[in-house]
Structure 1
């Protein structure tokens, strides 16, 4: 049978340039020179007998043929690259590269990892840089814990972990003072308090008030861009905040903060473990997935 497909190196050069929109960026990613990438794509165009890309001052533009080739080859090449990387090293079967939302990593995951290492001492876990729009286009990470909805990543195997439930927290002294004054008998009275919220989730207060039956629009509050800063602000009695329960469970348990109205309120979004379909049966990932699903389910039930 005559083989019509070109070489892998030429396809890698083409798909990388198509994805990044630049020969220079493709060369940096593939550890090649710009000329090598350009020549590889030129050979590819000669092989197919038609142009695949057009260069302009604004970057690269795919021709119709180029778009068809990119759409047809990007995912298979990624799968081949992934399995090739794993098969080249037996040790790779016992190594897992993971990217995690930084706040969840520091507050929730890392304190629980000793249990995972006790159960699976043979597995080496490393952390890759977190990208909010992770597309698994690189060899690592093998998996990622991202914030959103499971169906946001249709090409991935996704499992919801936790993080949908939100809770209001305040300083214990603030709660005691309001109770002593006969206030905070219903959630609507929180509208008179200074509200704090995470800059990436400005609608959480509105969603919380809607869920507990309080009509009206919350007043403008103070936005902070890190959960740790929000918690510190509450502990300094700067106001009250609404946060995901899993991120403040320890502070509530130790009494450093309290929940004035501990009413179950859930959002659609949460933390999701995602990986490419072709990696879901990776031995180290399978072990980690089973462990983290068990831990997350146990904590959801205890909430």
Structure 2
């Protein structure tokens, strides 16, 4: 018959004995009696068939076999303690998953993350970004911030930022592209967002129609096209052309003077960034409230 495996409850006991140098001190640290610790050590030595401790006049020391066993015990105890701390920390710190698009996450959310962490240090926020909101987004997130019209979203949705769009460019280039009447020249290079078919974002042609201007793409060489809005903004910051700027998303660049308006502002009614979903979980409600405060949606709703 095979022998029973070694009982592993001795590991912390052996670590404490080695750390404190005596059975009585180890017993006190573990809330046990000294005879109980001595008995466990004797059972362990019987199981291995060799002495693991040297009994000294005062205290104990490890034999060579005891030191070999201690290396395993210390590593195992340390790993178990680390795992316990991680699990407890994870239970204490809720993780909230926010689903949104690349533009909102990179240009609006990330610059404001230090403020959120300072206000809510107990919450870990996970950002799940994609080009467009998927119909099954709730499988990946607790909340969503998505761009579109109210009719695009089933159920309750709160408008965080209405769509307001204005052409923008680097300030050093505005004078070069300004006509005598103060309007931007029609053949200034454009920076385009190559959106997917059916995208709700304004493009230069639909912006020009809404604004009643001639600021739509022509045949002038030098236009640039990108498939993410963050790259559109980076190109505009670099002075490579004129881009459509969504107010709210690019406000920090306007406030810093890195971008300046270069045309009329167009507002599209009932369209913009919407806050979707949310449970009664405390951390989710805190994130909802923070998003509403930071975007000014709470103030608009109360007015």
Q: TM-score, normalised by structure 2?
A: 0.57
Match in the other structure for 2:28? none
Match in the other structure for 2:104? 104
Match in the other structure for 1:294? 293
Distance 1:131 1:157, change over 3 A: farther
Cα distance in 2 for partners of 1:266, 1:294 equals 21
Match in the other structure for 1:243? 245
Distance 1:291 1:216, change over 3 A: closer
Match in the other structure for 1:199? 194
Which structure shows the higher helix fraction?
A: 1
Match in the other structure for 2:149? 149
Asked if the contact 2:99–2:128 (Cα under 8 Å) also holds between the matched residues in 1, the reply is yes
Distance 1:93 1:253, change over 3 A: closer
Cα distance in 1 for partners of 2:298, 2:137 equals 32
Cα distance in 2 for partners of 1:128, 1:97 equals 7
Cα distance in 1 for partners of 2:234, 2:95 equals 36
Asked if the contact 2:169–2:236 (Cα under 8 Å) also holds between the matched residues in 1, the reply is yes
**CA apart distance, 1:124:** 2.4
Match in the other structure for 1:125? 125
Cα distance in 2 for partners of 1:299, 1:186 equals 36
Cα distance in 1 for partners of 2:185, 2:109 equals 32
Asked if the contact 1:100–1:144 (Cα under 8 Å) also holds between the matched residues in 2, the reply is yes
Asked if the contact 1:162–1:300 (Cα under 8 Å) also holds between the matched residues in 2, the reply is no
Structure 2, unaligned stretches of length 5 or more? 1-89
- Matched residue of 1:190: which SS? coil
Cα distance in 1 for partners of 2:95, 2:215 equals 51
- CA RMSD in angstroms comes to 3.2
Asked if the contact 1:136–1:142 (Cα under 8 Å) also holds between the matched residues in 2, the reply is no
Confirm whether residue 185 of structure 1 aligns to residue 184 of structure 2: no
- Matched residue of 1:219: which SS? coil
**CA apart distance, 1:172:** 1.9
Cα distance in 1 for partners of 2:242, 2:165 equals 13
Q: TM-score, normalised by structure 1?
A: 0.57
Confirm whether residue 114 of structure 1 aligns to residue 114 of structure 2: yes
Larger CA deviation: 265-274 vs 284-293: 265-274
**CA apart distance, 1:137:** 6.4
